[in-house]
Structure 1
Amino acid sequence: MARDHRPSRRARLTVATSVAALALGAAALAEPPAQAAAKPRGHDVSSHQKSVNWAKAKSKGSRFVYVKATESTTYKNPYFSQQYGGARRAGIIRGAYHFALPNKSSGKAQASYFVRNGGSWSRDGWTLPPALDIEYNPYGKAKCYGLSKAKMVSWIKSFSAETLRRTGRYPVIYTNARWWRLCTGNSRAFAAKHPLWLAHYSKNVGPLPAGWSFWTFWQYDNGGSLPGDQNLFNGSMTQLRRLANG
């Protein structure tokens, strides 16, 4: 994810609705991103990108974007309105994401804060489901935030349940296979209803977290022609709009 006041993802990652409602193939993308021209390109941004030139981003191929809204229950992206609203005005499908700090407060509390501060969803064909960014702890040595595997799974379930209650959508889960194995014990509790946003910086998708047989979004690099991190959607524009419309 594009970061605000945290170290870069390359320094932190050691590897890099309903999913059933999307008619996406079960096979992971085998080709390098450069050869995936038919798949909608997108990106994700935070306050690190400041005020984004959305017309320019669209002209360079942006079809969707995830915008950081919140972190824990204490941080709001000061550029959120410009980024989130600006993307929509430029004709780019957009969504909001929350950076989780599970050691700070409950999943329910963080989901509530997220939804109140930009993480909402509307059936307008332009708004992607809310997304949960759950990954290595950028603030300390406890990679799993000091939580046991069972408590981490419980935390994610709590965040998901509150997001669903408040928005009517299950959140997209952003993570990578190694963190998921280390911190959830390869939980399969989420794959059936939560679209996967895979973080893996490579020309190939690589392994998926346990339970998921395909990815919905793939963050494959932290820099490129679009502002922020570079992403692909595993489907057509029609399917992307269907995901946005619920």
Structure 2
Amino acid sequence: MRRRSLIRGAVATALAPAGMLAATGAEAATGPAPTSAPDLQGLDVSNSQLGIDYARAASEGREFVVVKAGGCQLAEGPYTSSSYAGHVDGARAAGLRVGHYWLSGDFLTPTAAADHFVDHLHDYRVGDVLALDVEVLDDSTRLWNDGDVSTWFNRVRERVGSYVPWFYISTGALRTGTWTRTVAAGAHLWAASWGANDGTWPGAPDLGGHYPDWAAHQYTSAGSAGGTSPVDLDLARSWAFDLTEPTDPPDPGEDPLPKTSTE
């Protein structure tokens, strides 16, 4: 995602109601992914996409949106994104599947971060994606590790019950770590891998054997949707929206991840 939080300073919170920004002519979204029928096309948004027209995005073939709810990467403390509620309401009105994501950071423990996230969810409904964005941005200095990430997911599950968990991380960062506890927590991988980042799908992300499979793929930050650009575009498998339960962690010394070929 790699966009600095805009909560420092005044940020407009109003979003255009669904359909208000529709153009008179049909304009194709940049870079539709060449996918098979079971794959779903979507986008993720934050304060950087205030004017998006979700009805138009739906007409362009977008089926889901994951919205930034807040984060804990700023020294000022945890926050709720000013555009969060408006994005969720606009996406719901257009009939899109909805997700909510939290940005990791140095300024809350994983358990406290999960509690803040759940306490401030807007219009959460069973079947919505609840996602953790694991990056080092703004005032933070450390990437959350497997223990941090799994603690966050397990705490969210304690609070809300069965849900749809997505773990967002760049494939480069993914390949530097081991994620056995996160896999055991049931988190679906939302892999970020942009290739040439020209708005087109670069092919399946290379996980390097560090996760069993990817459920969603953020494949560009240079897309266009709903009359707005740039927008992060995503591809998701149909099973990415399945409710999950944690699994038993692997025995010590056991290799829990099947090796996958690199592409």
Q: Same fold (TM over 0.5)?
A: yes
Task: Confirm whether residue 199 of structure 1 aligns to residue 192 of structure 2.
Answer: yes
- Aligned pair partner of 1:108 in 111, 115, 125: 111
- Equivalent residue number for residue 3 of structure 2: 3
Q: What is the deviation of 1:61?
A: 1.3
Paired with 2:55 and 2:219, the residues of 1 have a C-alpha distance of 23
Paired with 2:2 and 2:41, the residues of 1 have a C-alpha distance of 16
Q: Which has the higher helix share?
A: 1
Q: Which has the higher strand share?
A: 2
Q: What is the deviation of 1:219?
A: 0.3
CA gap of 1:170–1:141, structure 2 versus 1, over 3 A, is closer
Bigger radius of gyration: 2
- Equivalent residue number for residue 160 of structure 1: 153
CA gap of 1:165–1:51, structure 2 versus 1, over 3 A, is farther
Deviations 1:86-143 (A, max 9, x none): 1011100111000010x211001111111111277433xxx422100002x123694x
- Equivalent residue number for residue 176 of structure 1: 170
Matches within 5 A, 1:2-151: 3-5=3-5, 34-36=33-35, 38=37, 39-72=39-72, 73-101=77-105, 103-118=106-121, 121-123=124-126, 127-135=127-135, 137-139=136-138, 142=141, 144-145=142-143
Q: What is the deviation of 1:213?
A: 2.4
Gaps of 5+ in 1: 7-31
Q: What letter is aligned with 2:165?
A: P
Q: What letter is aligned with 1:206?
A: P
- Equivalent residue number for residue 214 of structure 2: 215
RCO comparison, higher one (Cα < 8 Å, 6+): 1
Paired with 1:210 and 1:189, the residues of 2 have a C-alpha distance of 15
Paired with 1:99 and 1:141, the residues of 2 have a C-alpha distance of 11
Tell me if structure 1 keeps the 8 A contact 2:164–2:244: no
Tell me if structure 2 keeps the 8 A contact 1:2–1:48: no
Q: Percent identity among equivalent residues? A: 26
Provide the secondary structure at the position in 1 that maps to 2:183. coil
CA gap of 1:112–1:87, structure 2 versus 1, over 3 A, is same
Gaps of 5+ in 2: 7-30, 196-201, 246-263
Paired with 1:245 and 1:214, the residues of 2 have a C-alpha distance of 15
TM-score, normalised to structure 2's length? 0.69
4+ residue runs of structure 1 moved beyond 6 angstroms?
none
CA gap of 1:159–1:113, structure 2 versus 1, over 3 A, is same
Task: Confirm whether residue 187 of structure 1 aligns to residue 179 of structure 2.
Answer: yes
Provide the secondary structure at the position in 1 that maps to 2:218. strand
